[in-house]
Amino acid sequence: MAGGGFLKDARYKNFNLGPVVSIFSSIDTAYRDVRAKAVAPLFSPARLREESSAQGSIGRHVADFLCQLCAFRQAGIKTDILDLCAKLSIDVVSDYVLGQPYGGLTEHAHLNLAERQTSDVKLSANGFIHAIVGFSRFSLLPNRLFKLVYFLSQKMGHSDEVDKSFRRIQEFMGEVMKCTKEDTRAEFYQDRLLASGISFLETTMQSQAILFAGGDSTAVILATIIFHLTRSTEARTRLLHDIRTALPTAEDNRKPDIPFLRACVKEGLRLGMANPTRLTRVVPPGKNLTIDGILIPAGAIVGCAAYVLHHDPAIFPDPFVFRPERWIDDERNCGLYRPHMERSLIAFGAGLRACLGKNLAMQQLLETVVAVVDSEVLEGARTCEDHIEVIQWFNGDIKGHRVDIEW
């Protein structure tokens, strides 16, 4: 809840990293604050702007992403944009936060486009990511029951692909942490945690967790935005006009604010179900809560779901339709603008426990959407499905793990 008065409940123990309590799963605010404050400077807007240049870690990977998307278009190859977005996101978060790119966009560079299509190669981290998404479906269970169900699910769902993916993640983290020990001058996520007195083992686990937290949800949202922009010629045309009108006027290498660009990203955040289910909290002692005349006593577990807020027709008319103009209060929004929309958008959570990497995710989304639309790579493209179907676990899981477009 906003203001930090409602603490997380015991269910978040289910998100611990084995024996390690993660920044996300921590119920103890003092424990979290030490770690969160150590890494928070990494996500400052000024630092992120520097990394969005063509030479920066964000700009370089966005350029590589666009180059591959353009190559698929030129070859007329059906493209899984969810996988391509996942490769981009894990490279951005690993390079920017940990100082070393995972290599998602380059790990299949030895294959030509036809071979990639034939073998349907995917990001090697997918097994790791899908396993985390899969076990989060049980996260509302009491911790002891969760451990039992998780153990059984792992036994039944065990596969060589998942094992191989986990080994690749562990190898990558080994490389990252080896460099950390050898170069004490660096100022990345793991360095800041170690400098704050966090153990080497915990730092490794916390850094591994950021690969999932920073990669999966951003990839889902970016794929959702590209999916809807592919389907909406009107939105794409307006955005292209605004981008080309604004960019030449930018001064001092600062990228201009483009209201319709932010509107498209917000609409993608609203419709993209990265975390659709409720974020639970505990009503604190001495704070009986009354909602719509119903008294909720202290100690009760409450929560709100992004799906419910993001699809409230009273706030978002035609809630299942991609209409970025709703976020702009002008004559072209068809009366869709509502004053409480910002408050109802909780894609990154809300209050003091909101997502630490929100600024990084937003910067990647904005930069990539500008690059994709300005390149006109989506012209002539169509989506292979009419809608994106999501399985509503704690982390939204796109059915089939793919979102295809073709030219």
pLDDT value at 381 more than 70: yes
Quick one: average pLDDT of 219-239? 97
| pLDDT computed for residue 187 by the predictor | 85
Between CA 387 and CA 181 the distance in angstroms is 47
Residue with tokens 């209060």: 329
**Is there a contact between 99 and 221 (Cβ–Cβ < 8 Å)?**
no
**Quick one: pLDDT at residue 2?**
43
Q: DSSP per residue over 333-364, as a string?
A: GTT---TTHHHH--BTB-GGGS-TTHHHHHHH
* Residues 6+ positions from 124 with CB-CB distance below 8 Å: 104, 107, 164, 165, 168
Report the pLDDT value the prediction gives residue 70, as an integer from 0 to 100: 96
pLDDT at 253 exceeding the cut of 60:
no
Res 105: pLDDT:
96
Residue 355 in marked binding region = yes
| Mean pLDDT along residues 328-336 | 77
Sign of the Cα torsion 122, 123, 128, 129 reads: negative
Q: What is the pLDDT of residue 251?
A: 58
Treating both helix axes as pointing N-terminal to C-terminal, what angle do 126-135 and 200-231 enclose, rounded to 10 degrees?
90
294-296 and 301-305 as β-strands: parallel, antiparallel, unpaired?
Answer: unpaired
pLDDT (tens digit per residue) in 116-129: 777 778 999 988 88
Amino acid at 387: H
- All domains of the chain in start order, with CATH: 7-406 (1.10.630.10)
60, pLDDT greater than 50: yes
The model's confidence at residue 315, banded by pLDDT at 50, 70 and 90, is very high
Phi, psi of 17 (to 5 degrees): -95, 75
> What pLDDT, on the 0 to 100 scale, is given for residue 249?
65
Residue 263, number of CB atoms within 10 A of its CB: 21
- Dump the DSSP string for 240-278: HHHHHHHGGG--TTPPPP-HHHHHHHHHHHHH--SS-SE
pLDDT digits (tens, 9 = 90+) for 262-303: 999 999 999 998 777 788 899 988 877 888 899 999 999 998
Phi, psi angle pair for 198, to nearest 5°: -80, 140
| 180, 190 contact by CB (below 8 A) | yes
Phi and psi dihedrals of 366, rounded to 5?
A: -65, -45
Given 3-state DSSP classes, what are the helix, strand and coil percentages for the chain, each rounded to the nearest 5? 55, 10, 35
pLDDT tens-digit series, residues 174-220: 999 998 766 555 689 999 999 999 999 999 999 999 988 878 899 99
Answer yes or no: is pLDDT of 376 > 60.
yes
Q: What confidence tier does 100 reach under pLDDT thresholds 50, 70, 90?
A: very high
pTM for this predicted structure? 0.92
Left if phi > 0, otherwise alpha if psi is -120 to 50, otherwise beta: which for 132?
Answer: alpha
pLDDT, greater one: 100 or 54: 100
- Arithmetic mean of pLDDT, 95-110: 93
Higher pLDDT among residues 186 and 150, named by residue:
150
What is the arithmetic mean of pLDDT over 46-68? 88
Bridge partners of residue 17, in order along the sequence: 20
- Greater pLDDT, 355 or 68: 68
The strand pairing partners of 404, in sequence order, are 80
Q: How far is it, in rounded angstroms, from Cα 307 to Cα 304?
A: 9
197-208: b (≥16 Cβ within 10 Å) or e: ebeeebbbbbbb
Which of 139-143, 158-162, 370-374 has the least mean pLDDT? 158-162
User: What's the rounded Cα separation, in Å, for the pair 312 and 326?
Assistant: 14
Dihedral sign (CA 113, 116, 122, 124): negative
CA dist., res. 129 & res. 213, Å (int)? 9
